[in-house]
Amino acid sequence: ESMWKHCNKQSFRFYSSTALEQIKVLDLTRLVAGPLCTMILSDLGAKIIKVEVPGTGDESRNWPPYLNSDNKEMTCYFASLNRNKKSICINFKSDDGIKVMYDLVEKCDVLVENFVPGKLDKLRLGYDQLKAKVPRLIYCSLTGFGNQGPYKFKPGLDVIAASVGGLWQITGPYGGEPCKPGVAMTDIATGLYAHGAILAALYERNKTGKGQKIDCNLLSTQVAGLINIGSNYLNLNIEGKRYGTAHESIVPMQAFQTSDGYITIAAASNAQYTSLCKQLNVEELAVDERFKTNELRVKNRDILIELLKPYFRKRTTAELMKILDGGSCPFGPVNTIEQVFNDKHIKEIDLVHETKTSKGTRVRMVGPPVVYSVSQNAVRSPPPYLGQHTREILTQELKYPEPLIQKLYEEKVVQ
């Protein structure tokens, strides 16, 4: 049986109702946080019009590897963040391009952008300028550092916000160098915050009939994401440290090396720790006065971990999975990416979807992770090629006559 769930227009035609099917979003974002935000909205049925720069488009279109190395039609990076969207290329630095943008704004409920503060104001696309034309517009800005403070005009990316915001300082091996998380976690969190903020603003508009401006930024999101580590410092002046895979406040909660890999243990309570010791047949460690409570285990962390390590190293990961099964202590293997997508659970829940681009290139992607009992949350169309829907949007959405469309193409206002 194939591990991939095939999805195309035919297989999703039964999705007749979605939570956001009446919502139109003008998406001026690129890279990660913004496209993730609008993709989540698109999964819920919002119509996304992705506005891109003629010629180059979203920078992630140029971040290899490519889906098809022979023709370099689309990168895997871009494909992972831009399904269910329609792409139009507009040179909105031109007067005619601004006119097209204004016409699109009037058709949309939400605008999402991630330009440096002030940039769109200079292009006559700032919030105050558009609010005067479309008072019901919800305008969401995603920036590196927000629209206040001494850093507001600085360009910001995930790695910078994660560095300035402390994430790198507390990530990495104990006593080692700071480390970057394997994916852009600050971007992801900002996109999630932004999508929730947009939904709240839409709900508010249902009551007032008015839109509003939303400001999300990477640095504030990252600092908010420090959660317990931030609280430790704010309340007790405790500086955060790097603990590798271990947890600062809970022991044992970390990865242990096995004879052929790694397994992660998460004994978040005394009962779970006792269960772990029972499953490993080291019940003497459960009653040892040095380890009877989590507070004591944190205090005597190094001693306990060194005592536990041999019991993991002498067994394979698979053997330990069997030994620990049935106990109350959570555990799991440290999987390679191949193992993740071949995991029986991932296959069973049909999390991976497959579709094809308009040029026939196969695209496999992780679908929406949230399941609703009524609302549909789905992959409905593949990520678009640059400017794939320009003519369709000008014709069907804006009702432009053909002579005007032809003029816009000839004058390179659109592509």
> According to the model, what pLDDT value does residue 70 have?
78
Catalytic residue among 70, 121, 187, 288: 187
Element (H, E) at 307: helix 301-313
**Which one, of 89, 93, 92, lies nearest residue 414 by Cα?**
89
Q: How far is CA 48 from the centre of its chain?
A: 17
- Is 343 assigned a catalytic role? no
Other CB atoms within 10 Å distance of the CB of residue 141: 24
Q: What is the pTM (predicted TM-score) of this model?
A: 0.92
Paired strand residues for 138: 110
For residue 34, pLDDT over 50 is answered with yes
Give just the sign of the alpha carbon dihedral 54, 58, 62, 68.
negative
Distance CA 42, CA 195 (A): 11
For residue 222, pLDDT over 70 is answered with yes
**Mean pLDDT throughout 74-101?**
96
Domains and CATH numbers, the chain: 24-228+350-411 (3.40.50.10540), 253-333 (3.30.1540.10)
**Mean pLDDT throughout 86-113?**
96
What are the distances in angstroms from CA 83 to CA 49, 78, 104, 295, 383?
11, 9, 20, 47, 4
* Neighbouring residues of 29: CB distance < 8 A, sequence distance ≥ 6: 35, 37, 38, 112, 113, 114, 142
**Mean pLDDT throughout 392-411?**
97
pLDDT band at 1, cuts 50/70/90? very low
